[in-house]
């Protein structure tokens, strides 16, 4: 950063986006691109990952090949998320994708560590998935040294969740008559 608060890349700060591959994180990527374009900033999509079994499990039974495979898989998940969000096209802003080993909340706060940064978050996976993790948005909002922006939930995601709620309790139990053809 030079004397007037601008980074050497010409922008004012970075836009750091939490990426998991969920529809909410893809919405956050789109919002992040718009903010990066508006600010003349670099977009930093961050995917946090941990070894299988978590850090504690890995310390108890280290396996470097497994760790390497997990790191590579995280990198591929980030590339897939970027492809899913932008369809393989250039988002039109400088991009610095980052794979960070650690829990999502601490990883995002550690990455968005400058006052001029903006941290953009989307809603993560479903209720079950969120139930096993610390709430990332709450963690980041309470600890980030920069503004935190929550991307609105995409309308399609609302529709899919409503459909899921309506249909999951009405699924038939056992074979559906006529589905497998006449019984012999």
Residue 150 and residue 140: Cα distance in Å, rounded? 11
Structure confidence by residue, pLDDT tens digits, 20-62: 988 889 999 999 999 999 999 999 999 999 998 888 888 898 9
Separation in Å, CA 32 to CA 2, 53, 95: 24, 31, 11
Domain boundaries, the chain: 14-168
Above 80 in pLDDT, residue 5?
A: no
- Report the DSSP beta bridge partners of residue 18: 46
- What was the pLDDT predicted at 71? 96
Which of these ranges, 65-74, 80-89, 105-114, 156-165, has the smallest mean pLDDT? 156-165
Structure confidence by residue, pLDDT tens digits, 157-167: 666 666 666 66
- What was the pLDDT predicted at 9? 44
Q: Binning pLDDT at 50, 70 and 90, where does residue 8 land? A: very low
CB 70 within 8 Å of CB 49: yes
Average pLDDT for residues 90-101, to the nearest whole number?
Answer: 96
User: Quick one: 14-168 is in which CATH superfamily?
Assistant: HUPs (3.40.50.620)
Could you give the percent of the chain with pLDDT greater than 90?
55
Highest averaged pLDDT of the listed ranges 91-95, 165-169, 173-177: 91-95
């Amino acid at each position: 950063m030079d004397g007037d608060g601008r980074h050497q890349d010409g922008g004012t700060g970075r836009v750091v986006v939490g990426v998991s591959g969920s529809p909410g994180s893809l919405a956050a990527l789109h919002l992040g691109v718009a903010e990066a374009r508006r600010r003349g900033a670099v977009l930093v999509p961050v995917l946090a990952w941990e070894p299988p079994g978590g850090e504690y499990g890995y310390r108890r039974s280290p396996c470097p090949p497994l760790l390497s495979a997990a790191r590579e898989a995280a990198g591929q998940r980030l590339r897939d998320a970027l492809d899913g969000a932008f369809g393989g096209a250039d988002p039109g802003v400088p991009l610095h994708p980052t794979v960070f080993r650690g829990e999502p909340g601490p990883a995002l706060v550690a990455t968005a560590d400058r006052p001029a940064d903006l941290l953009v978050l989307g809603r993560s996976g479903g209720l079950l998935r969120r139930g096993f993790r610390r709430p990332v948005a709450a963690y980041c909002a309470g600890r980030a040294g920069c503004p935190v922006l929550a991307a609105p939930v995409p309308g399609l995601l609302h529709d899919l969740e409503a459909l899921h709620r309506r249909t999951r309790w009405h699924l038939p139990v056992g074979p559906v008559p006529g589905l497998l053809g006449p019984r012999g």
